[in-house]
Amino acid sequence: ADDLVLNGDAKCTACHDEGDSPEVLKIGKTRHGVRADARTPSCTSCHGDSAAHMGYKGSAKPPAPDRSFGKRSLTPVAERNEACLSCHQKDAKRSHWEGSVHQARDVACTSCHEVHTGHDKVRDKQTQAEVCFACHKEQRTQVNKPSHHPIPEGKMTCSDCHNAHGSVGPKLMKRDSVVDTCYTCHMEKRGPFVHNHEPVSEDCSNCHNPHGTVVESMLKARPPFLCHQCHTPHGGFIPQLAGAQSALNTSTNTNTTGKSKINVTQGRSCMNCHTQVHGTNNPAATNPTPQFNFR
């Protein structure tokens, strides 16, 4: 018989042809189906020679191929992954797969990738996140909060920041650290500035949850509560709202200063005055100092 899809596939496609298993032939639509590339596999490259499967003559269900990749596969994950890595380990982007969280937790390549389809969900920006959410449940809820990166809209996806195949950075960050990953799009935060804000250059996730929050700018908590986790000034007040004050506003008795009560609760809160919290390059050596106001 002639090969149908892959070089040397005839031993399989003699049975698993378009009538028997049309879905498996869709591998022909993929990069694995580029037969002019001598490196591309045959069925047995991944599924093994499968002599017992091939040689079965009975009428019952034949034994499974040597390596199978479905949800109920009994093939050990490392063995399944070896079928992929035997070729793909040459890819520089996968140099840190060994030892990565996904590798150590027995995530199979086929847990995320579909090989026999022209549309591998995890390689499409619009559908990738739903593959990741199969395990990362908390993030599924977070991306639907009002302050989020445009992941539900399909304009960004998980792999814009994470390398699921392993990385040097924490949390499988695509670049070497959290801040370096964020700087790829938010380079204006890099500085260095005349007045730096130490937690900013340490780790953006000190203050932000990049997967989404109800607070503006993906802040993990609403200022002033966020800021007061570290900072002590402007004390002696309870956060309050215009229209919800136990002592009503008159011309002088409530907002006697600009840094208490509603002015640190509403508007942009602490950032009403401390504007450039990521750091400022204002060199002015005159009062009021740009250092504390980050202006």
Partner 1 sequence: QADAAELTTPDSTVSVGAGIINGGKRDASLMGQYNGRRNEEAVLQLDIDSTKRDDASGVVMIIKGRDLGLESRELSFAREKQGDWKYSLDYYELVRRDPRTLNTGLTGLGTTVNNVVPLAAGTTVGSVGKPGTGADQDFKLQRIGLGLAGEKWISSNLQFEVSFKNEDKKGDRAISRGYDCAAYVCGGPSNAAITQSATNQKYALLLLDEPVNSTTKQLEIKLNYAGQGYNLSTGYYGSFYNNANGSLRAVVPNLLYNPSGNLGTLFPAVPSTVIAGGGTSLQNVLQLPMALAPDNEAHQFYLSGNAKLAPSTNINFRYAYTHATQTEDFASMGLLGAPAGVSNLGGVVDTNLLQIGITSRPLPKLSLLANVRYEDKDDHTPEALYNVEGGEILPTTTPRTYVNRSWFNYRASSTKLTGKLEASYQLPADLRGTVGLDYTSYDRPVPVSITEEELAGLGAVRAKNEENGYRLELRRSVSETFTGAIGYSNSKRTGSDWTSLSNSAAFVNAGLGYGKTAPASQFIALNATNAFPMNMADIDREKVKLSANWTPTDALEVQFYAENGTDKNSTAASAVAGGKGWRETGSSIYSIDAQYALSEAWKLTGYLSQGVQDLKVNHSTGYLADIKSNSDALGLGVVGSPTGRLEVGANVEYLNDTTKYGIAASPTNTGAAASAANLQQAAVGLPDVVYQTTTLSLFAKYTLDKKSSIKAVLVSQQAKLNEWSYGYNGVPFVYSDGTTVSLKQDQTTNFFGVAYIMKF
Q: Least separation, in Å, of the C-beta of 189 and partner 1?
A: 7
Residues in contact with partner 1, shown as a per-residue x/- string from 170 to 189 under the rule CB under 8 A: x-----xx-----xxx-xxx
Q: How far is CA 198 from CA 98, 206, 279, in A?
A: 33, 11, 9
d(Cα 76, Cα 249) in Å, to the nearest integer?
A: 70
CA dist 206 and 202 (Å) reads: 8
CB of 57 to partner 1, least distance (A): 25
198 lies in the site for partner 1, by CB under 8 A: yes
Residue 289 touching partner 1 (CB under 8 A)? yes
Q: Is 123 in the site for partner 1 (CB under 8 A)?
A: no
Burial call 120-149: b when 16+ CB within 10 Å, e when fewer: bebeeeeebbebbbeeeeebbebbeeeebb
Site for partner 1 in 25-44 (CB under 8 A): 25-31, 33-40
284 binds partner 1 (CB under 8 A): yes
Bridge partners of 195?
A: 280
The answer to whether 68 contacts partner 1 (rule: CB under 8 A) is no
Under the binding rule (CB under 8 A), the answer on residue 153 touching partner 1 is yes
Residue 247 found at the interface with partner 1 (CB under 8 A): yes
Interaction between residue 248 and partner 1 (CB under 8 A): no
E strand or H helix that includes residue 25: helix 22-25
**Which residue, 59 or 252, has its beta carbon nearer to partner 1?**
252
Taking the C-alpha atoms of residue 59 and residue 269, their distance in angstroms, rounded to an integer, is 74
Minimum CB–partner distance for residue 42 and partner 1 (Å)? 14
86 binds partner 1 (CB under 8 A): no
Token reading at 199: 């937690």
Alpha-carbon gap, residue 5 to 27, rounded angstroms: 7
Q: Taking CB under 8 A as the rule, does residue 272 contact partner 1?
A: yes
Q: How many residues bind partner 1 (CB under 8 A)?
A: 138
1 is an interface residue for partner 1 by CB under 8 A = no
**Cβ 69 to partner 1, closest distance in Å?**
14
H-helix or E-strand spanning residue 51: helix 51-55
